[in-house]
């Protein structure tokens, strides 16, 4: 087990353990080279001495690292550091599909279909690269907090061998195909079977085959037919049930040929739920004596030759399985005739070899169970296990450094906020002008690539800044509190003046407008104004009771609610007090006892919790900024020189073109930007020799490469400056 603070490969700092499985532990780590959080899967100590497993582990993980798809938890790196074998993966915030099903009981039809489509798309991408998952199950499917579906642990299951058996595989046997259970050859169609079982669980809330032991469940996959999912979900569309049936056929040849076909039918089922478009292969009654599939025959042809007696021994369990599971009940004479002939043949064989058959049958019964256990456990004991959760903690939308990333939504954000967002996903930004907009002046009003679009990393995202609306319309504030109205008007860029007035009786002894609510607005609602104009907001004080108003209780309310309830009072003072036991913003006490009578023209105060933060912390930060500015001014006046002499390694994704290195520092509340290199092709590692703002010890270096005539951001690097002696 690794300890917090350890560094792997001089790059990944371990921050804490976030999951464990049968063969590996998973840690949250920080990649200091790319300045991002990742998940690092580390092989457990007991498997590090198995050279065969290590070889498979490396080759399969390296193959998986070549996959880049929005529906795959991507592998960034694989290697070993002083005997610590690790895989670095994308870190996702979310929960596994298994947890999601447990939480909801069973999923809606549209939700289950959508998830199945996304899983299928991820599997299709893997299959197109020659990678079979071999351990598709809800535990290896992650639902991120933004609704994305991602499949994890591609290619890892194949690395497991018979001498790395884990007991933590109950979660896998429920989803394994018959050929996997039997220990035979598995391919893309094995993933299709497991997907079908997963879809069954999504729509019913249960797995089709269950038992007390892994062997019992495995035998059910081989011999038993599943209960139709419509039994548990009566409103299940006919087409979706047929898709599940076709995915989970015991015969490999009767399943879908490829994931593309599964995706097509799943999409079709959304627009034609009761359609009869799923084509299931009919059982060929004339082929009842076929004991192996074409795929199994091909596998046998490529295996070393064995004696005839041994070959018969290997085929016997397959023959028994077909006889036990493939016959259909029927009453036609031809079927009964064939069945009678078969029974006579079997009786003749039994008369000749009764004792030998009994011996072989007993031997094979034990052998089948032993082979099923060994091969199944070995193949399905992947590096994640049944209880492991790779996806935790941090959202990460980048699918691979050179792959696709999701465009964030910049509209309504400041340029600094937008810059921070795009840096997280390795995109560049370019402001291309101002435009009239309903967005607050100075904030981003539109972007050229819509949010949610998947684009290549390092794409430049262009945006406009809001110049404010040409014409602003005063909203209707009927039934609005004064607090809500004031904030709305200020967000529109208007200057707001608040005044309080008593209102008339509605004829029943109650005020026409409750205290704390908007009585009037000037200019009137619907009027057209311009950004920066002044607006007067008149707030109701309720009925005029002279100096005898009863004081309401506001303790336990939020500050906004308390100010509204105390709308009759003309002068309300808000006092902040640190109290970690009471949520920030909640009223702790009031200066005048609730229920007593007081003059609403006299001041009243309420004490509001600031939570863990001391009152005035924001002001202290501002004061610190002033002190920093003074320090910088003093340093400049003294002629001090502050330099950075760090070394810059080759940026990730660099293609060898001209670079621009831009230094950005915060000084005196202003952003200072300087181009260190512009249009040159430096040699790496590049020795920096930068003079920064006097008195400023930190800065950020932004690296851009000239690609197709435009500078595109490759990354950003924190820099440290020190006063030169």
Active site residues: 135
CA separation, residue 250 to residues 106, 194, 203, 223 (Å): 25, 11, 20, 9
How far, in Å, CA of 55 to CA of 57, rounded? 5
User: What is the DSSP pairing of strand 84-89 with strand 94-96?
Assistant: unpaired
Nearest to 96 by CA among 86, 87, 104: 104
Which residues, at least 6 apart from 80, have a Cβ–Cβ distance to it below 8 Å?
A: 86
Q: What is the DSSP string of 74-141?
A: -EEEEEEETTEEEEEE----EEEHHHHHHHHSS--HHHHHHHHHHHHHHHHHHHHTT---S--SGGGE
Nearest to 447 by CA among 428, 465, 421, 470: 465
φ, ψ for residue 604 (rounded to 5)?
Answer: -140, 150
How far, in Å, CA of 393 to CA of 399, rounded? 17
Cα angle, residue 586 at apex, residues 582 and 591 outer, rounded to 5°: 105
Q: How many CB atoms lie within 10 A of CB 236?
A: 19
- For the chain, the maximum distance between any two Cα atoms, rounded to a whole number of angstroms, is 115
Helix then strand count (H, E) for the chain reads 17, 33
User: What is the DSSP pairing of strand 7-8 with strand 428-435?
Assistant: unpaired
Whether 244 and 269 have beta carbons less than 8 Å apart is answered as no
Whether 120 and 244 have beta carbons less than 8 Å apart is answered as no
Whether 446 and 435 have beta carbons less than 8 Å apart is answered as yes
Q: What does the H/E/C string look like for 556-601? A: CCEHHHHHHHCCCCCCEEEEEECCCCCCCCEEEEECCCCCCEECCC
CA separation, residue 204 to residues 95, 227, 267 (Å): 19, 11, 20
How far, in Å, CA of 87 to CA of 21, rounded? 14
- Angle of helix 238-247 relative to helix 259-271, nearest 10 degrees? 170
Whether 537 and 494 have beta carbons less than 8 Å apart is answered as no
How far, in Å, CA of 138 to CA of 150, rounded? 11
Q: Which residue has the tokens 């009239």?
A: 436
Task: Return the C-alpha torsion angle 476, 481, 486, 492, nearest 10.
Answer: -40
162: buried, middle or exposed (CB in 10 Å: 19+, 13-18, 0-12)? Answer: middle
E strand or H helix that includes residue 628 = helix 617-637
């Amino acid at each position: 087990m690794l300890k917090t603070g350890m560094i792997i490969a001089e790059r990944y700092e371990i921050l804490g353990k976030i999951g464990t499985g049968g063969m590996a532990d998973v840690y949250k780590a920080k990649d200091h080279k790319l300045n991002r959080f990742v998940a690092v899967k580390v092989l457990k100590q007991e498997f590090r001495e198995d050279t065969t497993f290590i070889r498979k582990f490396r080759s399969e993980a390296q193959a998986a690292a070549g996959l880049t798809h929005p529906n795959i938890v991507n592998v960034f790196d694989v290697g070993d550091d002083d005997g610590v074998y690790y895989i670095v993966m994308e870190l996702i915030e979310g929960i596994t599909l298994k947890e999601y099903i447990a939480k909801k009981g069973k999923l809606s039809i549209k939700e289950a279909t959508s998830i199945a489509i996304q899983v299928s798309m991820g599997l299709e991408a893997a299959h197109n690269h020659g990678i079979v998952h071999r351990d598709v199950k809800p535990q290896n499917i992650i639902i991120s907090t933004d609704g994305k579906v991602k499949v994890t642990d591609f290619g890892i299951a194949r690395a497991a061998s018979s001498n790395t058996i884990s007991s933590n595989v109950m979660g896998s046997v429920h989803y394994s195909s018959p050929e996997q259970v039997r220990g035979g050859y598995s391919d893309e169609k094995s993933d299709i079977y497991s997907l079908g079982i997963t879809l069954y669980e999504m729509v019913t809330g249960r797995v089709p085959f269950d038992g007390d032991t892994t062997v019992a469940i495995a035998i059910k996959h081989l011999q038993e037919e599943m209960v139709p999912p419509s039994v548990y979900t009566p409103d299940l569309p006919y087409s979706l049930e047929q898709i599940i049936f076709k995915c989970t056929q015991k015969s490999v040849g009767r399943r879908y040929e490829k994931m593309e076909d599964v995706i097509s039918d799943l999409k079709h089922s959304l627009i034609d739920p009761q359609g009869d478009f799923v084509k299931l292969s009919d059982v060929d009654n004339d082929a009842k004596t076929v004991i192996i599939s074409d795929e199994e025959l091909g596998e046998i042809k490529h295996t070393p030759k064995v004696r005839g007696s041994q070959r018969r021994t290997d085929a016997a369990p397959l023959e028994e399985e077909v006889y036990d599971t493939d016959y259909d009940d029927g009453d036609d004479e031809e079927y009964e005739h064939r069945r009678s002939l078969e029974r006579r043949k079997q009786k003749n064989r039994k008369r000749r070899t009764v004792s030998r058959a009994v011996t072989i049958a007993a031997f094979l019964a034990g052998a089948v169970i032993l082979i099923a256990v060994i091969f199944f456990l070995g193949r399905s004991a992947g590096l994640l296990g049944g209880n492991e959760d790779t996806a935790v903690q941090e959202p990460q939308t980048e699918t691979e450094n050179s792959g696709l990333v999701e465009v964030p939504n910049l509209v309504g954000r400041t340029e600094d906020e937008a810059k921070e967002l795009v840096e997280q996903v390795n995109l560049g930004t370019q402001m291309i002008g101002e435009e009239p907009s309903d967005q607050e002046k100075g904030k981003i009003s539109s972007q050229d690539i819509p949010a949610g679009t998947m684009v290549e990393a390092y794409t430049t995202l262009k945006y406009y800044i809001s110049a404010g609306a040409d014409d602003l319309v005063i909203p209707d504030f009927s039934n609005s509190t004064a607090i809500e109205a004031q904030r709305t008007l200020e967000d529109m860029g208007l200057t707001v003046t608040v005044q309080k007035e008593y209102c008339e009786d509605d004829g029943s002894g109650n005020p026409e407008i409750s205290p704390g609510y908007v009585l009037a607005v000037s200019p009137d609602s619907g009027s057209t104004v311009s950004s920066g104009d002044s607006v007067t907001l008149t707030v109701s004080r309720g009925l005029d009771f002279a100096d005898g108003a009863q004081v309401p209780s506001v303790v336990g309310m939020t500050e906004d609610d308390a100010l509204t309830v105390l709308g009759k009072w003309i002068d309300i003072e808000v006092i902040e007090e640190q109290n970690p036991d009471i949520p920030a913003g909640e009223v702790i006490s009031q200066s005048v006892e609730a229920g007593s009578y007081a003059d609403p023209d006299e001041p009243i105060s309420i004490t509001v919790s600031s939570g863990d933060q001391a009152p005035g912390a924001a002001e202290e930060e501002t004061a610190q900024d002033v002190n920093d500015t003074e320090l910088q001014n003093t340093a400049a006046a003294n002629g001090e020189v502050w330099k950075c002499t760090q070394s810059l390694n080759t940026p990730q994704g660099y293609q060898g073109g001209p670079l621009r290195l831009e230094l950005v520092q915060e000084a005196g509340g202003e952003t200072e930007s300087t181009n260190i290199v512009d249009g040159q092709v430096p040699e790496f590692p590049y020795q920096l020799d930068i003079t920064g703002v006097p008195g400023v010890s930190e800065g950020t270096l932004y690296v851009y490469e000239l690609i197709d005539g435009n500078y595109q951001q490759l990354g950003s690097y924190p820099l440290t400056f020190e006063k030169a002696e």
